[in-house]
């Protein structure tokens, strides 16, 4: 079974991620995957049904996703989209503190789809922001802390990007 077939089995759609990436590309604005899918590029993959993207501008993104068959909800600084019949939740963060991430993105392949992926330092920064955001649910913050530990186990330079005593679980495995 290929990575793409595995992901399709999880989401219920063989094309949801590819369709979302194609729609975002058609807008002409720089974007990149962030969050758990980006972590999966740099560490041993774990299951996620969220596809988080950072995008420099929203112009045309909602319309492009709708043309690709997605249901879209627009908010002041984000777009949420789902393809009917799919469990994959697309969230696009626009013009936020993640706005510079696309300019440093690398090209990679996730579940058979070639797409821009936030560079390792930016993935770590995003996870650090999320893990230390007291407004987020405790279980979400714990998952973000685990993602940082997963990244650090395979990429030791991550320890240099996270201040000591910021993420207790990470300090436990810090060299």
* Kind plus residue range of the DSSP H or E element containing 52: strand 50-55
Mean pLDDT of 21-50: 95
Residue 172 within a domain? no
pTM of the model: 0.94
pLDDT digits (tens, 9 = 90+) for 148-175: 999 999 999 999 999 999 998 898 999 9
pLDDT digits (tens, 9 = 90+) for 95-134: 789 999 999 999 999 999 999 999 999 999 999 999 999 9
- Binning pLDDT at 50, 70 and 90, where does residue 60 land? very high
Residue 79 within a domain? yes
Domain hosting 103: range is 3-118
Residue 123 within a domain? no
Mean pLDDT of 45-62: 92
Residue 151 within a domain? no
Give the pLDDT confidence score for residue 8 in this predicted structure.
Answer: 87
Give the pLDDT confidence score for residue 164 in this predicted structure.
Answer: 95
Q: How far is CA 137 from CA 82, 133, 170, in A?
A: 22, 9, 19
Q: Report d(CA 156, CA 148) in Å as an integer.
A: 11
Give me the phi and psi of 26, to 5 degrees please: -65, -20
Say how many domains are in the chain.
Answer: 1
Q: Are the C-beta atoms of 16 and 100 separated by less than 8 Å?
A: no
Residue 70 within a domain? yes
Q: What is the CATH number of the domain that holds 31?
A: 3.30.460.40
């Amino acid at each position: 079974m290929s990575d793409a077939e595995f992901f399709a089995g999880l989401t219920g759609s063989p094309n949801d991620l590819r369709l979302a990436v194609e729609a975002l590309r058609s807008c002409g604005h720089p974007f990149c995957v962030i969050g758990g899918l980006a972590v999966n590029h740099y560490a041993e993959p774990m299951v996620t049904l969220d596809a988080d993207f950072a995008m420099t501008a929203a112009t045309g993104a909602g319309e492009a996703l709708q043309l690709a068959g997605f249901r879209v909800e627009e908010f002041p600084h984000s777009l949420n989209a789902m393809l009917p019949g799919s469990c994959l939740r697309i969230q696009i963060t626009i013009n936020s503190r993640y706005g510079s991430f696309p300019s440093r993105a690398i090209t990679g392949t996730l579940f058979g789809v070639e797409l821009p992926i936030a560079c390792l330092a930016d993935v770590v920064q995003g996870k650090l922001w999320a893990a230390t955001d007291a407004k987020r649910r405790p279980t979400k913050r714990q998952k973000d802390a685990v993602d940082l530990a997963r990244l650090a186990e395979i990429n030791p330079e991550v320890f240099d990007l996270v201040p000591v005593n910021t993420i207790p679980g990470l300090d436990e495995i810090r060299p």
